[in-house]
């Protein structure tokens, strides 16, 4: 059965892996510096998460058990100017779905979600502290990737948004349960039901962001934070993390089911088409 | 509190400075997408800078369909 995401056209490249500690792929790279794993996203235009990025993220979480043995923290960041990550690759999703039947598209979406949830859950449960160093656009799936991390350190120009409801969907990469884990329900409803974006200062004021950095300084601040974390006893740090940050597995499962149910609605295809085909300076987002 | 004309003037000055456009080339009724030549990402950047400058929140949905500096100033003024 074909997936909504056509793997034959987007076969995951082997990438360049000189040792287990280093990898450079088409969408991301990782390296270990001073006991800190740095996972860098670099897929133009703005790190949209499609099948290629998913494949490389799977490669990363496959290597994670080995990497953490000699590391005390993980930093996830973007090396692109536009921002941290613009979310799921809606163009790939829409265009791939046009080539196959609706049932096949729905099945493909479910398989994609199952895979990305395994990636997100693995990073969420990583046995070392994790830090998202974000700047610019941190939308949808990008916001969800930041939310799996223990700390979010934001450049003052970062913006956070869950625009999914504007296209007839809900966040599908674990966003709602993880947002609920971290924030008050009123803020969660505001972000989800309006689909509006908020800046880093607002995100810090509601408890989403740990630290706000000057423009271009989020990665440097994240490295300093990782260095501080590295001073502490590893077992104690892990115990504290596991105590304070339970993973809402049951809600995450329900989110996949609800997303797939909503994805079957005709309005979603119409919304995605308008978004993908929009050439306006402000893309279609009602 | 600032008047709408002061708010408008500050927006024009900020936009000119950030996007490196001569201040004199910007008029209140200009379509800022065209005059500044900005795309959606740069529009978000402008939105964030305006929020910081005026210390307000500007929900994106309030700016839908807004493309001229004068209307933008009105939206900001309503939140000051």
Residue A10 CA to its chain's centroid (Å): 19
pLDDT digits (tens, 9 = 90+) for A45-73: 999 999 999 999 999 999 999 999 989 99
**Tokens representing residue A123 in the block:** 């990073």
Mean pLDDT for A76-81 is 97
In a domain, A246, yes or no: yes
Domain that holds residue A260: 16-277
pLDDT for the residue numbered A115: 97
pLDDT for the residue numbered A284: 58
In a domain, A29, yes or no: yes
pLDDT for the residue numbered A17: 66
Nearest to B59 among A157, A196, A201 (CB): A196
Higher pLDDT, A286 or B24: B24
Query: Per-residue pLDDT for A12 more than 70?
Result: no
pLDDT for the residue numbered A80: 96
pLDDT for the residue numbered A277: 80
Q: Are B9 and B25 in contact, with CB atoms under 8 Å apart?
A: no
Query: Per-residue pLDDT for A211 more than 70?
Result: yes
Mean pLDDT for A168-187 is 94
Cα angle B7-A158-A156, degrees, rounded to a multiple of 5? 70
Cα gap A225→A279, rounded to integer Å = 41
Cα angle A9-A87-A168, degrees, rounded to a multiple of 5? 100
pLDDT digits (tens, 9 = 90+) for A18-40: 567 899 999 999 999 999 999 99
Q: Are A248 and A181 in contact, with CB atoms under 8 Å apart?
A: yes
**How far off is chain B from A213, nearest CA to CA, in Å?**
14
DSSP label at A17?
E
Nearest to A202 among B45, B49, B57 (CB): B57
Active-site residue set of A: 88, 141, 144, 164
Query: Per-residue pLDDT for B39 more than 60?
Result: yes
Q: Are A203 and A142 in contact, with CB atoms under 8 Å apart?
A: no
**How far off is chain B from A17, nearest CA to CA, in Å?**
33
Mean pLDDT for A187-215 is 96
**Tokens representing residue A161 in the block:** 């948004």
In a domain, A285, yes or no: no
Task: State whether B44 and A137 contact (CB < 8 Å).
Answer: yes
Mean pLDDT for A160-173 is 92
Nearest to B40 among A194, A196, A281 (CB): A281
In a domain, A9, yes or no: no
Query: Per-residue pLDDT for B75 more than 90?
Result: yes
Mean pLDDT for A199-210 is 97
Q: Are B56 and B79 in contact, with CB atoms under 8 Å apart?
A: yes
Task: State whether A194 and B39 contact (CB < 8 Å).
Answer: no
Q: For chain A, what is the mean pLDDT? A: 90
Cα gap A134→A141, rounded to integer Å = 13
Domain count for chain A:
1
Task: State whether B41 and A194 contact (CB < 8 Å).
Answer: no
Is CATH 3.30.70.890 correct for B4-77?
no
Q: What value of ipTM does the predicted structure carry?
A: 0.90
Q: Which residues of A touch B (CB under 8 A)?
A: 46, 82-83, 136-137, 156-157, 159, 161, 194-199, 201-202, 281-283, 285
Query: Per-residue pLDDT for A102 more than 90?
Result: no
User: Which of B37, B52, B60 to substitute to test the interface with A, most A CBs within 10 Å?
Assistant: B60
Other beta carbons less than 10 A from residue A70's beta carbon: 11
Return the beta strands (E) in A125-223 as ranges: 130-134, 137-139, 151-155, 159-161, 197-199, 211-213
pLDDT for the residue numbered A162: 95
Query: Per-residue pLDDT for A282 more than 70?
Result: no
> Chain B partners of A285 at a C-beta cutoff of 8 Å?
60
Query: Per-residue pLDDT for B14 more than 80?
Result: yes
In a domain, A283, yes or no: no
pLDDT for the residue numbered A18: 59
pLDDT digits (tens, 9 = 90+) for A112-130: 999 999 999 999 999 999 9
Task: State whether B45 and A194 contact (CB < 8 Å).
Answer: no
Segments in A83-130 forming alpha helices (H): 90-98, 102-124
In a domain, A1, yes or no: no
pLDDT digits (tens, 9 = 90+) for A219-264: 999 999 999 999 999 999 999 999 999 999 999 999 999 999 998 8
In a domain, A284, yes or no: no
User: B4-29 in b/e burial notation, b at 16+ Cβ within 10 A?
Assistant: eeebbbbbbebbbeebebeeeebebe
Domain CATH code at residue A262: 3.90.226.10
Query: CA-nearest residue of chain B to A201?
Result: B52
Residue A207 CA to its chain's centroid (Å): 18
> Chain A partners of B41 at a C-beta cutoff of 8 Å?
46, 82-83, 136-137
Task: State whether A46 and B64 contact (CB < 8 Å).
Answer: no
> Chain B partners of A202 at a C-beta cutoff of 8 Å?
57
Query: Per-residue pLDDT for A140 more than 70?
Result: yes
Helices and strands in chain B, H and E counts: 4, 0
Matching residue, tokens 């408008």: B8
Task: State whether A157 and B48 contact (CB < 8 Å).
Answer: yes
pLDDT for the residue numbered A3: 39
In a domain, A55, yes or no: yes
Q: In what order do the strands lie in the sheet with A16-19?
A: A16-19, A22-24, A28-33, A36-41, A73-78, A130-134, A151-155, A211-213
């Amino acid at each position: 059965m074909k997936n909504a995401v056509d793997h034959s056209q987007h076969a995951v490249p082997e990438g360049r892996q000189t040792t287990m500690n280093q990898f450079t792929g088409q969408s991301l790279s990782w390296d270990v510096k001073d006991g800190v794993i740095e996972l860098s996203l670099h897929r133009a235009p703005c790190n949209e998460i499609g099948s290629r990025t998913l494949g490389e993220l799977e490669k990363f979480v496959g290597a994670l058990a080995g990497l953490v043995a000699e590391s005390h923290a993980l930093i996830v960041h973007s090396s692109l100017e536009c921002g941290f990550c613009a979310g799921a690759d809606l163009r790939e999703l829409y265009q791939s779905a046009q080539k196959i039947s609706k049932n096949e598209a729905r099945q493909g979406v479910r398989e994609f979600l199952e895979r990305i949830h395994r990636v997100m859950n693995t990073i969420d449960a990583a046995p070392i502290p994790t830090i998202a160093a974000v700047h610019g656009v941190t939308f949808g799936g990008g916001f969800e990737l930041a939310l799996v991390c223990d700390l979010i350190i934001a450049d003052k120009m970062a913006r956070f948004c869950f625009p999914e409801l504007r296209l007839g969907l809900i966040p599908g990469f674990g966003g709602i349960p993880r947002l609920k884990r971290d924030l008050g329900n009123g803020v969660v409803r505001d972000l989800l039901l309006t689909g509006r974006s908020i800046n880093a200062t607002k995100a810090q004021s509601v408890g989403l962001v740990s630290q706000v950095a000057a423009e271009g300084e989020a990665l440097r601040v994240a490295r300093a934070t990782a260095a501080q974390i590295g001073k502490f006893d590893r077992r104690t740090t892990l115990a504290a993390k596991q105590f304070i940050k339970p993973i809402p597995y049951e809600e995450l499962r329900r989110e996949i089911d609800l997303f797939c149910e909503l994805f079957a609605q005709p309005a979603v295809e119409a919304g995605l088409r308008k978004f993908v085909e929009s050439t306006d300076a402000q893309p279609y987002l009602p | 509190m600032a008047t709408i004309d002061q708010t408008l003037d500050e927006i024009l000055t900020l936009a000119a400075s950030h996007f490196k456009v001569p201040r004199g080339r910007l008029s209140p009724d200009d379509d800022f997408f065209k005059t500044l030549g900005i795309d959606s990402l740069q529009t978000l950047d402008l939105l964030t800078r305006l929020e910081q400058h005026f210390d307000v929140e500007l929900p994106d949905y309030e700016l839908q369909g807004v493309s001229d500096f004068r209307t933008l100033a009105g939206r900001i003024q309503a939140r000051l």
